Structure 1
Amino acid sequence: MAELGNTQNFEAARQLLKASLQKSKQVGTELDETGSRLREINQRLVPLEAEVREVHSHKTTYVRVRNQVDCAIGPTAAILRVYQAVSELEKALISSDPHTDLFAYLSLIRRLGEGLKFLASHSLLAIQWLEDVFELLEGDERLLNLKNSSRILKQLHGMEESFHMEGGLLSDALDKLENELRKLFLLTESTDLVPMASPLELPVSVIEQLHAIIERLKANDRLEKCVSLFVKIRVSNARRRLQALGLDYLDVKISDSDDMQSVENYIEQWGMHLELALKHIFDHEYRLSKKVFEKIGSDVWMPCFARISIESGIISFLEFGNEVTNMKKEPIKLLKLLDIFKVLNNLRMDFNRLYGSTACMEIQNPTRELVKKVVEDACDIFQELPFQVGSQRRFSPPQDGSVPRLVRFITDYCNQLLGEDYKPALTEVLTINQKWKQEIYQEGLLSIQFYNMMKEIGLNLDSWSKAYSDTSLSYLFMMNNHCHFSNLRGTKLGDMMGDTWLASHDQYKDYYAALYLKESWGKTLLPLVTRKGLVSISVSRREKTSTGLDYDADNKRRLKAFNEAFEESYEKQSNWVISDENLRRKVCRILVEEVVPTYRSYIESYRALVEQDASAGKYVKHTEKSLESKLSSLFQPKLAKFSSNKHVRLIGKLKNVVTNQFRFTLTAM
């Protein structure tokens, strides 16, 4: 109706304009006649001009409405055609199974997703166009049809969201894909829990299916679900393989009172198990994570692998290393730290390859902290060793004059540090520490520390020897210890200290042996010789004693005095020990060679007195054989009295005693 009215107005205006033009011609011929008539005509043209403009405006509005309707109708029709295609895809997807034809199923999901995204992105724009037309066509009979179209478009606009909602068609289809993905992931599990067994390699066809499913799930914002599902399955598998190793000791809290042998066993297991874990378990997880998610990118598979490593228990290995570093700073701890360092250093390439990415910072940081603490603590302990050896001077020497267990421990300890098992690691630790301090490593630093330790031991021995009230025992003590050091020839410590150092100890051994024999057994034999024929005994040679004895009553006193002196010396020295077996045999042999012939000579001279006075026989307490037997049995280590099993157990206890005695807290640098 509005359009018909506009047409009539336009026609009326045209007729009016035509009539006006005719009048204008007439007026033009009459212009010269009068000006008043011209002004009258002008006044009539003003309302006419306004009316024409109104008619022209209605025509423009009609054209604009027609064009806008055409723009809205075209896209709306296209959207409806896509909707019909989506409906067909929905039917096909419902009747399909991913397990039967995975790639066809993935194609349907892809096309359905694309159709839904088209509807979602274009229907809203079409709706806006139609609503603009509504305003222009208010009251028009075609407005109702357009509103119906708008209602349909709004329904289509919400279709994608409904498809993605739980229970929606696309959501269900994606759930089926996830189930299929879970089945494929389960194929990666290994039923063989032996860590060194080669894990099952996935066929190329399985990898291709995994890539296709993951790519489709990623396109539908389900990548995190893929990763979480993969991590869960792989963590379960890795944990079972690690548990097969027997890692209960990783949860043990190491204290300073723990038996060192147990700690050594723990560290040995730890090193072996960490190597197996990196090279055979986590390496497989690294390669599998990369293979499964490589098309997505390293920013996905590297964090995925890091999660698998952390949740499987890689951090527990590092925490065990920290337990060792938390022990008190003592010499025995240095060996344990070097054991830890050797393991970490040997596996450095594996750690860098597996965990060198920034995605693995949760593993990198504690690993670096562990290495830093191991290096710094080891250097602190090593640098304090000479001072700590000297601090042992306050302890008393052994009552039997043997080599102190502490001295044996220190020399064995030094030989360990200089051996092939520890010297390279110790050298590298010192070098690393110097670099961290921006200092140049000094080649002689290692040997200087050992020289200083040996110097402190020498000062300890001098101090300890003066603690004995018996001079003979003091000489035997020094003889024992110098023999111990001279026997270091051929060892790592002996080679480092040099031949001059070894030879000097050998000379001091003979020197103190001579002093001991003269001081102790020379006085014992004194009653059996004349005042002019004092007995002189040395390690290198013996001098024959005079047998020209005066057979008077004094002989009984002399023999009695010898018996008492011998018994006293034997009883006292039967508790003394010569640690070195060769030295012990040599000293006993010299004693037999010096004491028995002197005694024999005296008894032979004394026998005439016995024949004259039967009561004199009661002073003969020993035979030559009994003297030889007693002298040969002297200086035996007390451990020789135990059975072999008890001997082994006691050795272990003694080692712990020495270790405990040598435990001290170092001042942190």
Structure 2
Amino acid sequence: MAAAPPGGQEKVIAAAQHIVKSLANSKNAADDMIRILSGFDDRLSLMSDLFPPPPPTAVREAAVVEEEEDGEEGPDGDARDEERDAEVEEAARVVERWDSPAEGDRVVFDSAEDAGEYLNAAACLVRATGARAEAALQAAMARLEDEFRHLLIRGMSPLAGEDLHASLLRRLSLTVPSFASSASDLDCPSFASHAGEGDEAGGAGGRTSVSEEEISPYLISPDTVGSLRDIADVMLRAGYAPELCQVYGEVRRDTLMECLAVLGVDKMSLEEVQRVEWGVLDGKMKKWIQALKVVVRGLLAEEHRICGQIFAADAQAEEDCFTEAAKGCVLQLLNFGDAIAIGKRSSEKLFRILGMYEALDEVLPELKGLFSGEARDFIKEEAEGILVRLGDAVRGTVAEFANAIQGETSRRPLPGGEIHPLTRYVMNYVRLLADYSRSLNQLLVDWDTELENGGDNVNMTPLGHCVLILITHLQTKIEEKSKLYEDEALQNIFLMNNLLYIVQKVKDSELKTLLGDNWIRQRRGQIRRYSTGYLRSSWTKVLACLRDDGLPQTMGSSSALKTALKERFKNFNLAFEELYKTQTTWRVVDPQLREELKISISEKVLPAYRSFVGRFRGQLEGGRNSTRYIKYNPDDLENQVSDFFEGRRPNA
């Protein structure tokens, strides 16, 4: 064969490419043309250079199509075309029949038989070409979109909101922190009263497992999932992923938002959060902590799993649909958390904020794991930012609490020197801090270094150091308030009551670990000093009446001695009776301390009285009105001492 002129080879190749392109829709014709051109000129013998081999999947799909179209080696092509055209025609008639007025409002998927027929017809139209097939396919996609929406709505649990709420919380066995004291315990003008559920509190709770069987009924029933997947498979093959995702996202987003409302998480702006009264806000914060775990570990985890089943044919559609469905309720949860974090700080909010911080910190890895791509990055950035701000709120609230202790200004002394409400409030508050030791040791690093002494704080944790500061502020304030009592003895009773309460709260809780045994020993020594101060200020005057100092010598006038003894006994009786009158109304709260004080009184007074009476009884007995002066025998005094510090009402 003669050589082609310069440039001719390129023209021939270009012409061949044009011919093959125009015949691309006919596989047999294209093959024939390639064989003809390949034999025509050796310049076209390597046609593989023009048409690289298809990928293996394409070869397999082509083989399947060819086998379906051609059957065993000999069927006539025209017959097969007619058969295919008949199938498309029948599929179009199925779709058109369901769009006719005769069908009314009937739902295809109310019948498994009808659903199977319609899905087969739609699948046939996906593979077909031509104007009639295209029109029928669009009608089929519109119908399947409506059916998909209907199934999504119908497939949800019919349980009422209260049942959903109670059942989810019961099955998840959620534990949330709480803080409360009685109204009398918190009767401090500068501290807001805090309503709650009890005097004890738990931590934010550990991880709880949720089975598919427990959560599925509250989302989409398993039977419905299969039908939704069948519809999705056809619509995805037809290229209707955007329409499918829009329907799924709208319906499921509304459903998940309804679940939030059932769980007590309302959509609130920052201004609304700031305006709501504390009692209402406290309840909303508690419900948020519960809802966060229910939503992330229950509802969204199951939503993600169901999305994977329904959209198994398209991973991107699966992620898009889940994101569209879930982002609304996640953002509403995060927005409430952010409003709390940046809102006004006050002492009573601390434990709810800590509960929110720990709950978010706990579920954050799972929350991030539910999303992918840009959605994951966005959720991660938002949630981590809120976590940081909640941590800032914790630190700021602890500082606010310390300032509130120092700024407490009540001037009303408590009757009987009892435990001050400030002491009860602060120690209940501080004791609960230990329940959040893991988080607070992270958040309170370098919180305050103003106190470097006052206990074994060399190796003290950040939380321990914080607790030491708060209790030291409390002790200082209690010492100030003791000065409200004019009676020095009552000052000491007040200080003993309050410091012993502080020590017992420390000793009987995790605070003991934070502050150490040496701190407790030092405070017990301080209580003993207060006890000594009480005895000295109360009984020195009484005991002075029972000393020999100042009495006339017995060798002198017996009349002068008797007169002096009468005066001594009279003064003793008056002093003791005055103490009895006042100190039986005082109250030493701790039973053991109360008995120890009574014993101390008896050990000091009774032996002195017994000795004095024994030495001088003879000087007065037999005289007129001797019983006016020696009114008590030692047993009488001991019985009366037993009435001290019981908090009796005057004249009771």
Q: Please tell me the TM-score bracket, short chain as reference.
A: 0.5 to 0.7
Contact 1:318 1:367 in 2 (8 A): yes
Q: What is residue 572 of structure 2 aligned with on the other side?
A: 562
Q: What displacement does 1:278 show?
A: 1.6
Which of these two proteins has the greater Rg computed from alpha carbons? 1
The one-character-per-residue Cα deviations of 1:616-652 (angstroms, maximum 9, x if unpaired) are 434566565554344223223689xxxxxxxxxxxxx
The answer as to 2:390 corresponding to 1:380 is no
The answer to whether the aligner puts 1:213 opposite 2:234 as a matched pair is: yes
CA contact (8 A) 1:184 1:210 kept: no
Query: What letter corresponds to residue 431 of structure 2 in structure 1?
Result: N
> Aligned partners of 1:556, 1:465: CA distance in 2, in Å?
37
Q: How far is the alpha carbon of 1:268 from its aligned partner? A: 4.4
Distance 1:553 1:638 in 2: 36
For 1:474, the equivalent position in structure 2 comes to: 491
* Structure 1 residues 256 and 268, CA gap change in structure 2 (3 angstroms): closer
Inter-partner Cα distance in structure 2 for 1:589 and 1:270: 54
Alignment deviations for residues 131-189 of structure 1 (CA, whole Å, 9 cap, x no partner): xxxxxxxxxxxxxxxxxxxxxxxxxxxx89xx75xxxx554433333344345545753
Distance 1:332-1:357 versus aligned 2 partners, 3 A rule: farther
Q: 1:320 to 1:595 in 2, by over 3 A?
A: farther
Deviation at 1:330, TM superposition (A): 3.7
Aligned counterpart, 1:307: 324
CA distance in 2, matches of 1:554, 1:102: 122
**Equivalent residue in structure 2 for 1:175, among 123, 142, 162:** 142
Q: Tell me which of 253, 258, 262 is aligned to 2:278.
A: 258
Residue 532 to residue 256, structure 1, CA distance change in 2 (3 Å): farther
Residue equivalent to 2:429: 413
Partner Cα distance (2:432, 2:462) in 1 = 17
| Partners of 1:551 and 1:606 within 8 A in 2 | no
1:588 is displaced (CA, Å) by 1.0
Q: Indicate the SS of the match to 1:582.
A: helix
Structure 2 CA distance for partners of 1:208 and 1:514, relative to 1, 3 Å: closer
Higher mean C-alpha deviation, range 205-214 or range 245-254: 245-254
1:253–1:180 Cα change, 3 Å: closer
Superposed displacement of residue 424, structure 1: 0.2
TM-score relative to the length of structure 1: 0.60
**Number of the residue aligned with 1:658:** none
Instruction: Tell me how far apart the structure 2 counterparts of residues 316 and 627 of structure 1 sit (CA, whole Å).
Output: 71
1:576 positional shift = 2.9
Q: Which has the higher helix share?
A: 1
2:65 corresponds in structure 1 to: none
Q: Does 1:353 align with 2:320?
A: no
User: Partner residue of 1:272?
Assistant: 290
With over 3 angstroms needed to count, the CA separation of the structure-2 counterparts of 1:234 and 1:525, relative to structure 1, is same
Which residue number corresponds to residue 633 of structure 1?
643
The alignment partner of 1:305 has SS state of helix
Mark the CA change 1:343 to 1:578 in structure 2 (over 3 Å): closer, same or farther.
same
What residue number does 2:308 align with? 290
The letter of the residue matching 1:115 is: G
* 1:513 maps to 2:536: no
Whole-Å separation in 2 of the counterparts to 1:600 and 1:401: 31
Match of residue 23 from structure 1: none
Letter in 2 for 1:586: E
For residue 130 of structure 2, what is the aligned residue in structure 1?
115
Residue aligning to 2:111: none
Q: Secondary structure at the match of 1:612?
A: coil
- Return the alpha-carbon distance in structure 2 between the equivalents of residues 477 and 85 of structure 1: 100
Q: Is residue 536 of structure 2 the alignment partner of residue 523 of structure 1?
A: no
2-side partners of 1:385 and 1:248: how far apart? Answer: 29
Deviation of 1:375 (Å)? 0.9
Q: In structure 1, how many angstroms separate the alpha carbons of the residues matched to 2:116 and 2:409?
A: 84
Q: CA deviation at 1:505?
A: 2.5
> Residues 312 and 318 of structure 2 are in contact (CA less than 8 Å); yes or no, is this contact kept in structure 1?
yes
What is the distance in 2 between the residues matched to 1:362 and 1:174?
A: 33
Letter aligned with residue 231 of structure 2: L
Q: Compared with structure 1, are the counterparts of its residues 430 and 502 closer, same or farther at alpha carbon in structure 2 (3 Å cutoff)?
A: closer
Indicate the SS of the match to 2:156. coil
* 1:550–1:188 Cα change, 3 Å: farther
**Correspondence for 1:229 among 235, 239, 247:** 247
Distance 1:257 1:173 in 2: 54
CA contact (8 A) 2:414 2:420 kept: yes
- Please state whether the residue corresponding to 1:99 is helix, strand or coil: helix
Structure 1 contact 334–378 (Cα < 8 Å) conserved: yes
SS in 2 for 1:472: helix
Give yes or no for contact 1:402–1:579 (8 Å, CA) kept in 2: yes
| Matches of 2:140 and 2:549, distance apart in 1 | 120
- The residue type equivalent to 1:258 in the other structure is W
> Hey, what's the Cα distance between the residues in 1 that align with 2:296 and 2:637?
68
- Determine if contact 1:289/1:304 at 8 Å carries over to the other structure: yes
Structure 2 residue aligned with 1:3: none
Judged with a 3 Å threshold, the aligned counterparts in structure 2 of structure 1 residues 310 and 465 are, in CA distance, closer, same or farther, namely same
Runs of at least 5 residues in structure 1 that lack an aligned partner in the other structure: 1-70, 72-80, 117-158, 435-441, 534-547, 640-669
Change (3 A) 1:173 1:377: closer
The alpha-carbon distance between structure 1 residues 257 and 618, as it changes in their structure 2 partners (threshold 3 A), is farther
Name the counterpart of 2:588: 578
**Offset, 1:279:** 1.4
Normalised to the residue count of structure 2, the TM-score between the two structures is 0.61
Q: Is the 8 A contact 1:337 1:374 kept in 2?
A: yes
Structure 2 residue 426 is the aligned partner of structure 1 residue 426 = no
> Conserved in 2, the CA contact under 8 Å of 1:293 and 1:301?
yes
CA contact (8 A) 1:211 1:292 kept: yes
Equivalent residues of 2:304, 2:370 under 8 A apart = yes
Quick one: structure 1 residues 466 and 245, their matched pair in 2 at CA, closer, same or farther if it must change by over 3 Å? closer
Q: CA deviation at 1:339?
A: 1.3
Letter in 1 for 2:307: S
Alpha carbons of 1:111 and 1:494: their partners in 2 closer, same or farther (altered >3 Å)?
Answer: closer
Note if contact 2:587-2:646 (Cα within 8 Å) is conserved in structure 1: yes
- Pair 1:99-2:135 in alignment: no
Aligned pair in 2 of structure 1 residues 466, 443: CA closer, same or farther (>3 Å)? closer
Q: 1:214 to 1:416 in 2, by over 3 A?
A: same
The answer to whether residue 603 in structure 2 is matched with residue 593 in structure 1 is yes
What does 1:38-117 align with in structure 2 at a 5 Å threshold?
Answer: 89-90=88-89, 93-95=92-94, 99-112=115-128, 114-116=129-131
CA distance in 1, matches of 2:648, 2:331: 49
Count of residue pairs brought into register by the alignment: 483
Match of 2:333 in 1: 317
C-alpha distance in 1, partners of 2:223/2:559?
104
Query: How far apart are the structure 2 equivalents of 1:233 and 1:369?
Result: 29
Give how far 1:378 is off. Answer: 1.4
2:110 alignment partner in structure 1: none
Measured after TM superposition, the shift of residue 281 of structure 1 is 1.1
CA RMSD of aligned residues (A): 4.6
CA shift at 1:105, angstroms?
Answer: 0.4
8 Å Cα contact 2:482-2:491 kept in structure 1? yes
Kept in 2: contact 1:256–1:327 (CA 8 A): no
Distance 1:108 1:495 in 2: 74
Give the CA deviation at 1:513: 1.6
Percent identity among equivalent residues?
Answer: 21
> How far, CA to CA, are the matches of 2:414 and 2:533 in structure 1?
20
What secondary structure is seen at the aligned counterpart in 2 of 1:566?
helix
Structure 2 unaligned regions, length at least 5: 1-21, 23-77, 99-113, 172-213, 449-458, 552-557
Displacement of 1:552 in angstroms is 1.8
Other-structure match for 2:206? none
For the structure 1 residues 241 and 530, does the alpha-carbon distance in structure 2 shift closer, same or farther, using more than 3 Å as the test? same
Q: State the distance in 2 between where 1:316 and 1:502 align.
A: 47
